A and B are shown apart, each in its own frame.
Chain A
């Protein structure tokens, strides 16, 4: 689909040229897959500027399918495409993908064991003042309960690209939960990625922070501040929510007195829930504090204001950790 030159005053132009747009990594990683000979096909549902996939569309128009605002149709069609031996990557807001298309994901993709890649972007409260309809604070819980579906929440663009590179040998369908593309970088371009294998940044005896996705960067900032004030703090990037790296959780539980999970998601059923399940079944587990959105609907505000309000920025996470340690 040809889009023509964009007006520099347009929302589309600003979206694509935002200085910090991490979503460029998504298109570039998919372009790299095609160029290395993988039968990739990409679809979106009227969000090619929001997810930046217009860059892919311009490069490989024959491999790009615009489904319009028909997310369920897109997800079922992705299942159909996968039966022919191509690998579909379909992207839309996490709220629409995981909630609106839950049944299509379960029945058509996961149960049918088709290697579809689902990209849920602008997850959590990243859509700020767009409101509850656009927030996805339940997607990890929903996707995690679906058998044979891998669920990952990369921390930034480079890790997303690494996960996409690693996905070529991954036979299960995958739900990629990513942010709005403005997340500060945690990793460099050569970052390695292994599904189901947490990245241990630091080990500590007082507290271990286990974070995923967009929360990794502020969690790392909080970790630095706590360490500088003399606390022994661990930090784990639990990028794969399912299958969860149980060993990493149990090791942290043995090393630390406290575990703090941090996620841009409800504290029910997501990363905190998954870690709680492991700890509850272990002997003498460390005490767990789940930090995230409580069992409520998030307010309307610009995203950074929401992160501050819900104490999901670096200062907030640090404060939650200090209260737990007190």
Chain B
């Protein structure tokens, strides 16, 4: 679907500029970097959430290389946009991007999870420059992001807060407390992105506790909802630009990104058991070759 023809929510009025081919290429190149670095780092730890990162690699890349307002080497810049992860277990894919923004040295990546490393399976704001909020216990992040929006109002700082949520995370009651509260308090610069990859640790989300119709739920809670292909850099970038261009609207925004768990590595895509896994050297080489060989994954 071309973004130009995309039917956006009726409340959106201002047209943002569409991402051009250079923008798209940059995002896809960085998404590939996320996947390759994730393979490399998890080989150090021996076990990790490959497929959870692979489903949101384009989301990470679009946020950090198109949507978010950041300053290189200044992870504490007060007016920066914030990023929080409810699905903290995908942090291994985020660390390389933070290092790429010069928030910390890339050497630190090489000791991922080793004794004394700041980088663990879940992101820690006390240890990792560029992590805006720690996570690990699923369900807290949207509330914390809402708090940042509310705090920003009192300090007259103009920033957008992006919160990446897992689809399994929709089971947590606190998510819906935050959803109600954000709509009531008109947190228009709060953007929730649901990585709708369909799987959680024990199996298919919809077999465990079904969450559909998900868009209707968020709409019913007073949010503006967009549903996009979460691996299509053009769609992701355009919708996030549209949201930013229309921030004067009073509702918080939920982007439901339809994704594939393990996207980019075929044997992971077809086998959902990869939520948490370990690759043999041969498996890793196969995955790396496939990621490297593929151009725009979409």
Contacts and interface: CB of A to CB of B under 8 A. Distances in A.
Contacts of B178: 70, 73, 76-77
Given A39-B154, A104-B140, A83 B148 contact: yes
Given A76-B143, A79-B144, A41 B150 contact: yes
A77 B155 contact: no
B204 interface: no
Contacts of B184: 68
B110 interface: no
Contact of B134 (A81, A82, A88, A107): A107
Nearest to A112: B134
A85 interface: yes
Interface stretch (B125-133, B191-199, B239-247): B125-133
Contacts of B126: 111-113
B181 A73 contact: yes
A103 to B, nearest CB: 6
Interface string B17-57: 00000000000000000000000000000000000000000
Contacts of A65: 150, 185
Which range holds the interface residue count of chain B?
A: 20 to 34
A68 B155 CA distance: 23
Given A72-B177, A77-B146, A85 B151 contact: yes
Given A70-B180, A107-B137, A76 B144 contact: yes
A68 B150 contact: no
**Chain B CB within 10 Å — which of A65, A80, A83 has the most?**
A80
Given A72-B174, A107-B136, A81 B151 contact: yes
A62 interface: yes
**Chain B CB within 10 Å — which of A76, A82, A103 has the most?**
A76
Contact of B157 (A41, A78, A84): A84
B140 A108 contact: yes
A80 B147 contact: yes
B157 A77 contact: no
B75 interface: no
Contacts of B150: 41, 65, 77, 80-81
A67 B178 CA distance: 9
Interface in A74-112: 74-86, 88, 103-104, 107-108, 111-112
B215 interface: no
B154 A63 contact: yes
A78 B174 CA distance: 14
A205 to B, nearest CB: 47
A80 B143 contact: yes
A79 B151 CA distance: 10
Given A41-B150, A68-B180, A77 B137 contact: no
A39 B152 CA distance: 12
A173 to B, nearest CB: 13
Given A76-B147, A107-B140, A85 B155 contact: yes
Interface in B138-182: 140-141, 143-152, 154-155, 157, 173-174, 177-178, 180-181
Nearest to A77: B147
A80 B151 contact: yes
Contact of A78 (B134, B147, B152): B147
A111 B125 CA distance: 10
A142 B27 CA distance: 46
A59 to B, nearest CB: 15
B214 to A, nearest CB: 20
Given A81-B147, A83-B133, A112-B133, A76 B174 contact: yes
Nearest to A107: B137
Contacts of A75: 143
A70 B154 contact: no
Contacts of A62: 154
Contacts of B134: 107-108, 111-112
Given A62-B154, A77-B143, 4 more contacts: A73-B181, A82-B147, A83-B144, A84-B152
20 contacts: A41-B151, A68-B184, A70-B178, A73-B181, A75-B143, A76-B143, A77-B144, A77-B150, A77-B178, A80-B143, A80-B144, A80-B145, A80-B147, A80-B150, A82-B147, A86-B155, A104-B143, A107-B137, A108-B144, A111-B134
Q: Which 7 A-B pairs have the closest CB atoms?
A: A80-B147, A84-B151, A76-B143, A77-B147, A70-B177, A73-B177, A81-B151
